[in-house]
């Protein structure tokens, strides 16, 4: 990495921290903090979620672009990891889905978001959630710890996406799966064209393309990847559902399947 690119990366990280600190403060003051488009991001993605499922303050604090706890089809007794748990809505919904015999880890890099999530979890009276401070590029959990990884419009914010995918594969148990909501670009858009359509902190400039997503998943050995657009977020960019799974030990690749390190597109 050149000195210029290092400076740029450092500035982007600080921009993301400042942006989401401000969003946490908005939520603390009782305001909704969805961004950048309230018709696409935030509470709009959770139709049918009522106060019996999660506190209203957790719903209003949502900054995501989908409902990954539903995307991942969580089952009772599973262990779940939410990458970028924010105000806690997805960990609360996940904890209800996996039940008292399940466990949910919520990982976030901001003290302010963790504090907000802690209060929402206490209001929801959930005791099968553990909040962790850390980054999605260096997940503070042992290998093979979780059955399911969810994330809601967070992976696009990372400046080291290969590290994120490697960490996901590391902490997933054999046969584990991912169910992610994220902003994804059409393959026709270059990185520069994505940046023209929105900022990094607003989940646009850092979005991967469909092909890039599948290749990064394949590179760490995750199989059966799919990227399904759900709603337009900007010209050539969409909110999307991303699924994949970690193969069980000694599982052979299916004929024609994208192999680790190979091209998926």
Please state the domain extents for the chain. Answer: 3-245
Q: Collapse the DSSP code of 239 into the 3-class scheme (helix H, G, I; strand E, B; otherwise coil) and give the result.
A: strand
Is 189 in contact with 260 (CB distance < 8 Å)?
Answer: no
What pLDDT is recorded for position 262? 57
Q: Two tokens at 85?
A: 């748990």
pLDDT at 209: 96
The ranges of the chain with pLDDT < 50 are 1-4, 30-36, 255
Can you give the pLDDT at residue 199? 84
The first and second tokens of residue 25, run together, are 């403060």
Q: Given this model, what pLDDT does residue 39 score?
A: 54
Superfamily designation of domain 3-245: Vaccinia Virus protein VP39 (3.40.50.150)
DSSP 135: B
- Buried b / exposed e across 17-32, counting CB within 10 Å, b at 16+? eebbeebbebbbeeeb
pTM score of the predicted model: 0.84
In the numeric block, which tokens belong to residue 206? 């850092």
Q: Is the omega angle on the peptide bond into residue 138 within 30 degrees of 0, that is, cis?
A: no
pLDDT score for 49 = 61
Q: What is the pLDDT of residue 254?
A: 55
Q: What is the pLDDT of residue 34?
A: 42
Q: What is the DSSP letter of 41?
A: S
Query: How many Cβ atoms are within 10 Å of 140's Cβ, its own excluded?
Result: 12
> Residues 113, 104: contact at Cβ < 8 Å?
no
- 20, 157 in Cβ contact below 8 A? no
Say what the pLDDT of residue 173 is. 97
**CA distance linking residue 116 with residue 130, whole number of Å:** 14
pLDDT of residue 25: 65
CA of 49: how far to CAs of 81, 89, 131, 152, in Å?
A: 21, 10, 22, 16
Pairwise CA distance, residues 242 & 225, whole Å? 7
């Amino acid at each position: 990495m050149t000195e210029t690119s290092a400076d740029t990366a450092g500035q982007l990280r600080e921009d993301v921290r400042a942006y989401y600190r401000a969003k946490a403060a908005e939520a603390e003051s009782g305001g909704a903090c969805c961004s950048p488009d309230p018709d696409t991001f935030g509470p709009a993605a959770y139709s049918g979620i009522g106060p019996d499922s999660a506190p209203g303050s957790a719903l209003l604090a949502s900054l995501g672009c989908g409902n990954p706890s539903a995307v991942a089809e969580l089952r009772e007794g599973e262990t779940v990891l939410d990458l970028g748990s924010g105000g806690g809505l997805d960990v609360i919904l996940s904890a209800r889905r996996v039940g008292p015999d399940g466990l949910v880890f919520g990982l976030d890099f901001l003290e302010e978001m963790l504090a907000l999530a802690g209060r929402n979890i206490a209001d929801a009276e959930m005791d099968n959630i553990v909040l962790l401070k850390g980054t999605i590029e260096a997940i503070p959990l042992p290998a093979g710890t979780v059955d399911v990884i969810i994330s809601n419009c967070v992976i696009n914010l990372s400046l080291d996406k290969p590290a994120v995918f490697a960490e996901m594969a590391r902490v997933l148990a054999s046969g584990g799966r991912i169910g992610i909501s994220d902003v994804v670009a059409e393959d026709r858009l270059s990185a520069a064209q994505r940046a023209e359509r929105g900022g990094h902190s607003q989940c646009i400039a850092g979005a991967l393309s469909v092909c890039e997503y599948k290749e990064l998943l394949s590179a760490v050995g995750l199989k059966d990847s799919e990227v399904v657009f759900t709603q337009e977020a900007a010209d050539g960019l969409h909110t999307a559902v991303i699924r994949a799974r970690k193969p069980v030990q000694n599982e052979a690749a299916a004929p024609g399947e994208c192999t680790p390190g190979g091209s998926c597109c």
